[in-house]
């Protein structure tokens, strides 16, 4: 019964690379996720933390790992056949060490004791600075080691944040990871196609959400990458609208932002389409501007280009479109410099994507946008949002909200769009919705 989704050697190589990057005589401790209770007798569905899963492949709760340059140690729940009757299989330390390729394993109940023993000679201790549990564990460790001063034990003088070491490694995807993300994108694209075909005037937002999530499950995804946004009409102008509880009226657009998680890797797709299958003239004008902005942004997703280049390209097209639509007046450069456009486009054009939908990794180095590298994966998602109560906007445009989002891998050449299987041209969307088939 293996829980890791890739070949065991991949997790071992990740740990080895991290071990090699540790400070001299350093130790790193990483704590996995705990089970969380929704109410007295019901748990929230468990999901292992991404960092812990990335390095271990181990999905059970109440686990930790300790790495030094010379060894790797997994701590997990004890084998307990009585508890397994109620909650399912447990590896236990002995079997887990062998199955997951660790040098040693111990019971997680003994974490504090094992850590104190392992760290007694360490000069540096690393942990995730933003993890309160890990910080508390290290604080207790330091207090315990201080009590052993007469035995010659000196607590580590240096503490370092584990996040940069792990997160920069996670930012560059391996071929196996890219294949997993491509499959997640394909599953999510099919789900979006299904929603487009099923949609009709009067459909409830939650019905389209259910269609998408059903498609995800039957394709092998255990969970959503994030809470789906299914926003009809003016709801699309609320960026994080998740109520999904209203009927979508004839003639309205529906914006769906949804993606599955496949073996801990996220997809993130947004499409906007007319619920009745045909764009109105005003909707076509707004939509085409957003699509042109996305196409311009995609051209900038190239190795060596700065991260902000694709945002800047999208903004320029969007601002020109805002002037064309009568939303703004003035010189395009001045409107960009003054930030006037943020009334109608208030977010960035994308973010890193990976094991988390807003994935880890720096966006800048020394205050400057970092250069894109092959193996990075990001979203490209420009939008244009015109609220129904915006009395300064032309009446025919009010209540229109459009966003178009794809997942893109950086390569040595042209950008690799992982979510291209769902149409985004006006003609492509209308043709799909008229076809009656999402296959």
Q: Which residues are catalytic?
A: 41, 240, 257, 268, 347, 351, 358, 381, 385, 403, 405
> Where are any strands of DSSP class E within 158-292?
158-161, 223-224, 229-232, 253-258, 260-262, 265-266, 269-274
Residue 429 CB neighbour total at 10 angstroms: 22
Q: For residue 303, give both structure tokens.
A: 């190795």
d(CA 246, CA 209): 12
Please report the sign of the dihedral spanned by the C-alpha atoms of residue 217, residue 219, residue 222, residue 226: negative
**Distance from the first to the final alpha carbon of the chain:** 34
d(CA 409, CA 415): 6
Residues 6+ apart with CB under 8 A from 299: 310, 313
Which CB contacts under 8 angstroms, 24+ apart, belong to 243-248?
A: 243/205, 244/205, 244/206, 244/209, 245/204, 245/205, 245/206, 246/204, 246/205, 247/202, 247/203, 247/204, 247/205, 248/199, 248/201, 248/202, 248/203, 248/204, 248/205, 248/275
Q: For residue 127, give both structure tokens.
A: 């942990």
d(CA 14, CA 166): 9
Please report the sign of the dihedral spanned by the C-alpha atoms of residue 83, residue 86, residue 87, residue 88: positive
H-helix or E-strand spanning residue 64: strand 64-68
Which among 412, 424, 411 has a CA at the least distance from the CA of 382? 424
């Amino acid at each position: 019964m293996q829980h890791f989704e890739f070949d065991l050697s991949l997790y071992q190589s990740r740990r080895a690379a991290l071990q090699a990057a540790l400070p001299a005589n350093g130790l790193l401790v990483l704590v996995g996720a705990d089970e969380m209770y929704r109410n007295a007798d019901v748990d929230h569905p468990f999901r292992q933390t991404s960092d812990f899963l990335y390095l271990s492949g181990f999905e059970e709760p109440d686990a930790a790992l300790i790495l030094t340059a010379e060894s790797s140690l997994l701590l997990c729940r004890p084998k307990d056949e009585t508890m397994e009757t109620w909650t399912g299989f447990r590896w236990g330390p002995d079997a887990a060490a062998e199955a997951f390729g660790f040098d040693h394993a111990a019971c997680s109940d003994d974490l504090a004791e094992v850590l104190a023993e392992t760290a007694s000679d360490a000069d540096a201790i690393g942990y995730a600075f933003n993890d309160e549990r890990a910080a508390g564990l290290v604080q207790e460790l330091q207090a315990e080691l201080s009590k052993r001063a007469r035995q010659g034990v000196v607590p580590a003088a240096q503490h370092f944040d584990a996040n940069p070491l792990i997160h920069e490694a996670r930012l560059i995807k391996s071929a196996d990871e890219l294949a997993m993300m491509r499959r997640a994108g394909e599953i999510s694209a099919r789900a979006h196609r299904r929603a487009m075909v099923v949609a009709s005037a009067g459909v409830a937002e939650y019905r389209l959400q259910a269609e998408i999530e059903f498609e995800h499950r039957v394709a092998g995804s255990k969970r959503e990458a994030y809470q789906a946004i299914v926003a009809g009409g003016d709801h699309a102008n609320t960026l994080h609208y998740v109520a999904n509880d209203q009927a979508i009226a004839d003639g309205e657009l529906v914006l769906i932002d949804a993606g599955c998680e496949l073996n801990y890797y996220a997809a993130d797709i947004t499409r906007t389409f007319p619920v009745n299958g045909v764009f109105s003239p005003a909707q076509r004008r707004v939509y085409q501007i957003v699509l042109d902005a996305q196409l311009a942004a995609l051209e900038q997703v190239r190795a060596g280009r700065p991260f902000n280049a694709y945002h800047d390209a999208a903004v320029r097209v969007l601002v020109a479109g805002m002037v064309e639509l009568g939303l703004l007046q003035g010189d395009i450069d001045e409107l960009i410099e003054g930030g006037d456009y943020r009334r109608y486009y208030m977010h960035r054009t994308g973010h890193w994507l990976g094991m988390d939908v807003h994935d880890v990794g720096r966006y800048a180095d020394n205050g400057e946008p970092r250069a894109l590298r092959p193996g990075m994966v990001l979203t490209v998602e420009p939008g244009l949002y015109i609220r129904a109560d915006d009395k300064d906007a032309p009446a025919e445009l009010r209540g229109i909200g459009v966003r178009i989002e794809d997942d893109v891998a950086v390569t040595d050449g042209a950008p690799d769009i992982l979510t291209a299987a769902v149409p985004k041209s006006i003609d492509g969307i209308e043709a799909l919705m008229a076809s009656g088939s999402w296959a």
